[in-house]
Structures are given as C-alpha cells and as structure tokens.
Amino acid sequence: EALYIRGMAALPLARGQGIGELLLKHVESFAREHGHERLTLSTTPFLDRAIRLYERAGFLRSDDGPHDLFGTPLFTMAKVL
C-alpha cells in the first residue's frame, strides 16, 4: 500500500536550507515503520525546484493520476521503499 504525500511547502525565507529533504526523510521513515511499500505525490510541471528535490530523493514519474487539479496540470511521482 502507498502512502500519499498530500502537500509539502517551505516559506520562501526557509528555502534552500534542506528542510524539504528533512521532511521527505521523516515521511519515508514513518511510511516504512507503518508498513507502506511506496510513497506517492502529485506535483505540477512548473515547480522545478520541488521536482528536483523529489528526484534526488528517489522519486520517479508515474502514469498514475490525477492529471489535473481544477485545470492545473499535474503528474504523479512515486518511490518504492
């Protein structure tokens, strides 16, 4: 079963300090401890920094939906644990 990461953000002043990486590591530890086999999230194609963070953390693009949110394009990323 997958654990879905619903949302994650840092204030602009806090960006670039590794907070996103720490959050993802904590979520991954939680998921492993609770028996989840993968992590999934949805993001928009224009969030380049977030996408790079997810890719560095081992997430890959997936064909799973959703593919839009009220007209904003989305794609799913997943990481097998």
DSSP states of 48-61:
HHHHHHHHHTT-EE
Whether 27 is in a domain gets the answer yes
Whether 54 is in a domain gets the answer no
Where does the pLDDT of residue 65 fall: very low under 50, low under 70, confident under 90, or very high at 90 and above? confident
pLDDT tens for residues 21-57? Answer: 999 999 999 999 999 999 999 999 999 999 999 999 9
Whether 29 is in a domain gets the answer yes
Q: Can you give the residue range of the structural domain that contains 32?
A: 1-7+17-39+69-81
Whether 58 is in a domain gets the answer no
Whether 1 is in a domain gets the answer yes
pTM above 0.75, yes or no: yes
Task: Count structural domains, the chain.
Answer: 1
Q: What is the DSSP string of 2-13?
A: EEEE------GG
Whether 21 is in a domain gets the answer yes
Whether 76 is in a domain gets the answer yes
